[in-house]
Structure 1
Amino acid sequence: MTKVLVVDDEPSLVRTLSINLRARDYQVEHAFDGRSALQSIAEDCPDVIVLDLGLPDIDGVEVIRRVRATSEVPIIVLSARHDSDDKVEALDCGADDYVTKPFGMDELLARVRAAVRRHTPATSHAPAIHTPDFALDFAERIAIRDGVQVRLTPTEWHFLEALAVQPGHLVTQADLLREVWGAGYEKETHYLRVYAGGLRRKLEPDPAHPRYLVTDPGIGYRLLTGTTERRPQH
């Protein structure tokens, strides 16, 4: 049974979420502040975290940072903060998804299902990638840069896999969003910018001038290797 940790300081919202999730056969735990959430994550190992940013003790973004230091568990932010900077900061720190309040229950449940699906290992159709700077083994989900293993989240692996199926070929923004996050995400192009930036920091020798994960501005992304044509980054 999939275990969901709901972290929010609004008891009525926690109760509503718990009822709806349990009705769909999820096991639900809850925490009303950041410290309790971090303790529950360490002890109970949830499969998905639904996290409010406005917690009474530790800011939700800091909770994301601390979780990502040790865990790849999917994190869905649930917040009243609508500012795009807040969304980018949460995603940049390792959140997998961002839902603003008020929200529809069906939408949130769909995003929980999508997070579980991304976290579940599947047979990869992407070939192993070897470049002068890093190597990616999609079957084993192992990333090596300069001889050191790099931690990638399940969403980051899905992002790279969608590009690596045909190295060097353009994958449009809409196709990449559907492949990684699912239907209904086609307009969330900021997700792509944030995740591409994070992957460049982890893999590229010079993230500001990427050689491998390149953008066709306004169109999509390509993953280049040592055997594919290098295209300029605009």
Structure 2
Amino acid sequence: MCAHVLLAEDDERQAEALRRYLVAEGHETTVVHDGETALQQARQQQFDLLVLDVMMPKLDGLQVCRTLRQESDVLMLMLTARSSEDDLLLGLDLGADDYLTKPFSPRELVARIRTLLRRVRTKPQESPAHRVGRLTVDEPRRTVTVDGIPIDCTAGEFAILAAMIRQPGRVFTRTQLLLHTRGIDRESTGRTIDVHVMNLRRKIEANPRRPQLLLTVYGVGYKLNAAAP
């Protein structure tokens, strides 16, 4: 499953090591060493996935992520040396699809990229579009609409909606939803799902503070309201 990857990493030695692994995996890889150049390249070329180091000169990875998410739904994976949960969740809140905390092995990065690409490119042709109230999720086309209006979702947000709309009314725990996004690993927490849900409510609810579609089941998790208007 080859892709065109933009790797933005200011440590040139580490960038070269990661580039070699990505190329060995079959990915066409463009390397830049600062956020400003990463932003320019992402706007000029068609990439399947961006790997963005958080700490970069000129523009940091979070600024690049924030800007590009307003313009594109390209996959973005953040690399961060920050271990604070709040820092990690900030990247997801800005629209990143995944993150890795340094130090990590190049093999782990390649595996994460493989998982992200598979999740986006695997389109179950037998699955019809599903509708609950004003919300429609079309898995084969990977589209989300509310009252017929297209809604941009990150890969993680789409995975959550796709899982829940197949079984409206079912209560999903945070752990179950993590399995539908990127699986459980040493960095994932229940708050990761909370951030995705918060972002989804901003996009699909008429009033995010009083959700009617994506409901909280206190002490358990979340469900999609089968009786939503």
- TM-score, reference length from structure 1: 0.88
User: What is the percentage of aligned positions where both structures have the same residue?
Assistant: 33
Aligned-CA RMSD value: 2.2
2:90 aligns with 89
Name whichever of 40-49 and 119-128 sits farther off: 119-128
Runs of 5+ in structure 2 lacking a partner?
none
The counterpart of 2:130, out of the listed 105, 128, 131, is: 128
Runs of 5+ in structure 1 lacking a partner?
229-234
Question: Which amino acid letter does the alignment assign opposite residue 10 of structure 2?
Answer: D
Partners of 1:2 and 1:76 in 2: how far apart?
A: 14
Say if 2:174 is the partner of 1:164.
no
Contact between 2:78 and 2:98, CA under 8 Å: does it hold in 1?
yes
Name whichever of 20-29 and 5-14 sits farther off: 20-29
Name whichever of 211-220 and 40-49 sits farther off: 211-220
2:215 aligns with 214
Contact between 1:178 and 1:184, CA under 8 Å: does it hold in 2?
no
Listed one character per residue, the Cα deviations across residues 84-121 of structure 1 (whole Å, up to 9, x for unaligned) are: 22111110010011111111222222111111112214
Question: Which amino acid letter does the alignment assign opposite residue 52 of structure 1?
Answer: D
1:144 Cα deviation after fit: 2.9
Name whichever of 31-40 and 214-223 sits farther off: 214-223
Listed one character per residue, the Cα deviations across residues 25-63 of structure 1 (whole Å, up to 9, x for unaligned) are: 111111111121112112221111111111111121110
Partners of 2:27 and 2:43 in 1: how far apart?
A: 19
Partners of 2:187 and 2:77 in 1: how far apart?
A: 18
1:206 Cα deviation after fit: 1.6
Paired residues in the alignment total 227
Say if 2:73 is the partner of 1:72.
yes
1:21 Cα deviation after fit: 1.2
1:187 Cα deviation after fit: 4.5
- TM-score, reference length from structure 2: 0.90
Partners of 1:73 and 1:41 in 2: how far apart?
A: 9
1:190 aligns with 191
Contact between 1:50 and 1:78, CA under 8 Å: does it hold in 2?
yes
